[in-house]
Amino acid sequence: MKIRKDKLYTLSFFLSPMLIIVVLFYLIPLVLTVYISFTGMKNWNIERYMHDFVGFYNYQRLFHMFKYDPTFKAVVLTTIVFVGITLIINVFGGLGLALATFFMSERPGNIYRLLWLLPRMSPIAVYSLVWYYFFHGSEIGTLNSILLKLGLISEPIPFGQIIPWGAWSIIIFVNGLVGVSFGMIVFTSALNQIPKEIVIAARVDGASGWQISKRILFPMMKWHFLYVLTWQFLSLLTTYPHLFLLVEWDLVNRDYGTTLALYVFNTAFGRGEQEQGLAAAAAVILSILGIIGGVITLKVLEFEKMIKKPRGEIE
């Protein structure tokens, strides 16, 4: 397939703004991050450390920490558990909400969807503060207060300090409530594109809601399922704002409430000595994991088969 020169110039003209943005805000920072990971940069002392080339020393440190440092092991384990479980909640929770509201009448369905969007519409600090007071490990915590009044416990439980599952449960719950609304919106949009006549005909033939979902709706939403799964995986791998606040406020255990993305942030910008070289090395590993995970997801769900050639011809 050949593209005429004038067509090529036209395409280049319209694509150039996006290409410039990608180069400026994605490619150059990525190259700089990789470069810094091979330096011994500390405390943002660029003049002293920018040319202090240390080779793979930062990567060797990370590998050594993974083998012998229990704190870093907890960070890696927390990342795996957090991304894995929250991803399942976000994707299948969003799908379940979209299907539930699809079979409702329009008005209650819209109200139900709006309620689930509230966590995403709330500012991160406000939303985190709500759950800080809900799970607080003293009498001021809402959950502890309810359990004490019901006589189910005799003294407050520090939920977030119970390791590992107490801390993991809270960070998964808080992020899951936010993430599930994204999947709900995408799947709802997909469901609304499916002709109503097909669903009505299935209803007339006596098909149940589950049969309609399994035989008609799920196969027609494969593309959207792939998109939500890939997007949520990459998003969870790099998210940290809610975790940062919950850890900073001591609601959850510092080791088992910290993912690799939050470790990168704390190492580069946290308190005490800041090690940008080490943080950049961890960020590069995080990026590689994201690329590998994204490619595997696309391969498993057969992304190539979903791509169709355009019906028209490009001259």
Question: Exposed, middle or buried by CB within 10 Å (0-12, 13-18, 19+), for 100?
Answer: middle
CA 302 to chain centre: 22
Q: What is the mean pLDDT of residues 235-256?
A: 91
Phi, psi for 39 (deg, rounded to 5): -115, 170
Residue 311's pLDDT band, with cuts at 50, 70 and 90, is low
Gap between the terminal Cα atoms of the chain: 8
The whole-model pTM stands at 0.87
Q: Which two tokens stand for residue 202?
A: 């299935």
Q: What is the mean pLDDT of residues 121-148?
A: 92
Q: Are 53 and 34 in contact (CB under 8 A)?
A: no
In this prediction, residue 195 carries a pLDDT of 84
| Domains of the chain: residue spans and CATH | 68-273 (1.10.3720.10)
What is the chain's mean pLDDT, rounded? 88
Q: Quickly list H helices, 3-150.
A: 5-22, 28-36, 46-49, 57-68, 70-102, 106-121, 124-135, 142-149
